[in-house]
Structure 1
Amino acid sequence: MRPHVPGSSDITRRGWLAAALAVTAVAPVSAKAQAARDRQERLDATRPLVIRSVEPLIIRNPPTPIGFDEPLDLPSAGDMTGGVGLWNRLDHASPTRFKGFEQAVLVKITTESGLVGWGECHAPSAPRMHQRVITDLFAPLLRGQDARRINALWERLFTTERVRGYSTGVQLEALAGVDLAMWDLLGKAVGLPVYQLLGGRYRAAQPLYRGIGGATLDALVADARAAKASGMQMVKMGYRKGKGSEDIERVSAVSEAMGRQGQVAVDSLGAFKLYEAIQAGRRFDRLGNVGWFEDALLPDDQASYPKLAEALETPVCAGEMLNNRFQIRDLLATRGADIINPDVCRAGGITECQRIAALAEAFNVPWSPHVSTGTILYFSASLHLAVATPNCVIMEGGNKLNGPLGNVLVRTPLRLEQGTAVVPEGPGFGIDWNEEALANVTVAGA
Structure 2
Amino acid sequence: MSKFLNLFAPSLGGAAAVLGGAYILADQFVVDMPAPARGELVTPAEAESHAPAAEETAAADSDMAAVETAEAEPEAVAIPEATEAAYEPGPTFGLGREATDEEIAAWDVNVMPDGRGLPEGSGSVLDGETLFVERCAVCHGDFAEGVGNWPSLAGGEGTLADADPVKTVGSYWPYLSTAFDYVHRSMPFGDAQSLTADETYAIVAYILYSNYLVEDDFVLSDENFLDVEMPNADGFIVDDRAETEYPDWRTEPCMENCKDAVEITMRATVLDVTPEEENAEETADDEQMVEEPVTEDSTEEEAAEATAEMAQPEEDEEIDPELVAAGEAAFRKCKACHQVGDGAKNRTGPVLNGVVGRVAGAIEDFRYSNALEDLNEEDFVWTEEHLAAFLEDPRGYIKGNRMSFAGFRDEADIEAVIAYLRTFE
What TM-score bracket applies, with the shorter chain setting the length? under 0.3
Structure with greater Cα Rg: 2
Bigger proportion of residues as strand: 1
Q: What TM-score does the superposition give when structure 1 sets the normalisation length?
A: 0.18
Bigger proportion of residues as helix: 2
Q: What TM-score does the superposition give when structure 2 sets the normalisation length?
A: 0.19
Question: Higher relative contact order by CA 8 Å / sep ≥ 6: 1 or 2?
Answer: 1
